[in-house]
Structures are given as structure tokens and as C-alpha cells.
Amino acid sequence: MSAPIRVVVVDDEPAYRNALQKTLSLMTDCEVLGVCKDGQEALDLCLSDPPDVLLTDINMPRMNGVELIRRLLKQEKDVRVVVLTVNEDSDTIFEAFRAGALGYLLKTSTPQDVIEAIRLAEKGEAKVTPRIAAKVIEDFRRIKDDDDTDDTELYTLSERESEILDHIAQGLRNKDIANKLCIAEKTVKNHVSNILKALQVNSRTEAAMKALKAKLVDAN
């Protein structure tokens, strides 16, 4: 008999945490290492006893899900992460995948979907809510269409804007970028606005995708 899948769950809503515990109790091949109420608590637990799979929300106190994924996978690369959230924002989706998430489910998913996502993640395979998959595909298609219009287009960015674009492509948010560069968050926002205009895109997600495709930033 194979070892159970070791899982850590993190969500800031008590009722939903209880619902997830009931769902995971249906899995005979699952061992719940802990159920956490915020990102920092989950990070501490995962670093002290790394699970096979982390099931995480995005919008949480103390540390959001994207930052949790980024910090955890920097130290524990073998942990598989599945996002389970109400957040359908394209920028957040991109940031989560860029940080290292393997799956992305909405909280409208059935218990069976959640169980399947955990089992697939443990094998290194992804499960994504169809609506989220459609958003990702549409974003890539939009960038491809933009690039096909003029493959020789040049983008003029300042050294600081290029630096910020690189951080955007890494999935960092404005606050994180401001902290790294020791500048005001408002200054970052102004630079981001200029970057979107220069790249002729409407969102951070599109900017990151276009930058990666045009090799304006390092893909690693």
C-alpha cells in the first residue's frame, strides 16, 4: 500500500476550512498535516514539515497566497501547490502560476474536483477550473495576436521600468516591488502605467506575457 498524500490546507474562512476538512476526510489516501488560517501560519508549518500538496486560498491576512507559494517553493521545490479561491482576476491567476502553482480551482468546484486536483498534483499533474483555463488561453491568444501585427516592434523602456517589468514577470505585486527597490508604492504604480503604455497592453498579465515572449525579461 502506497503512503498517503500529505496535505496542508490554508484558508482564512472558518466555515470553508471546515468544509475542506470534511472533503479531505473522504480521501482514504490523504493525511492532513494541518489546517491553517493564514499564509504565514501555513508557511511556517510547510517549512517545518513539508507536505506533498499545499491547498491554498489567495486573499488571506498576514501573507497572501501568491507570496506564500513564492516563499515556500524557493525553499521546498518538491511541494505541489493547488490554489482554491474565488479570485478570477487575470493578473492574480498569472502571478499564482508564475510563483509556481500547479493547479487553480474556484471555490465553486465540487468536492470531487478538489480531491482529483490533490491526487493529480501529487503526481505532478495539473487541474484547472475550465473558466480559469479559458482566461489563460485567451490571454495568450491576445498576446499572440498583438505580436503577429508587428514582429519588429521595439519597446523603449527606462532602466527602472525594465527592472520593474522583470519583477512583474516574476509575479511580484506593486508593494513587493516597492519594498525590493526601496521606492514608494505610488512610484511603482506610475512606472507600471508607463510600461503598459509602452507595451501597448491593458494589464500586468499581458505585459508579463509580452515581455517574456519578446525576451525583454529573463524567463527563469
**Residue-range definition of the domain harbouring residue 30:** 5-134
The owner of cell 474536483 is: 113
In a domain, 100, yes or no: yes
pTM: 0.68
203: which 3 cell numbers? 494589464
CATH number of the domain to which 67 belongs: 3.40.50.2300
Instruction: Give yes or no: residues 115 and 15 share one domain.
Output: yes
Pairing mode, if any, of strands 103-106 and 53-56?
unpaired
On whether both 29 and 72 belong to a single domain, the answer is yes
Give, for all 220 residues of the chain, the pLDDT tens digit: 678 999 999 999 999 999 999 999 988 899 999 999 999 999 999 999 999 999 999 999 889 999 999 999 989 989 999 999 999 888 888 888 888 888 899 999 999 999 999 999 998 888 888 888 877 777 666 655 555 544 445 567 888 988 898 888 877 788 889 998 999 999 998 998 888 888 887 777 778 777 777 677 765 5
Q: Is 132 exposed, middle or buried (0-12, 13-18, 19+ CB in 10 A)?
A: buried
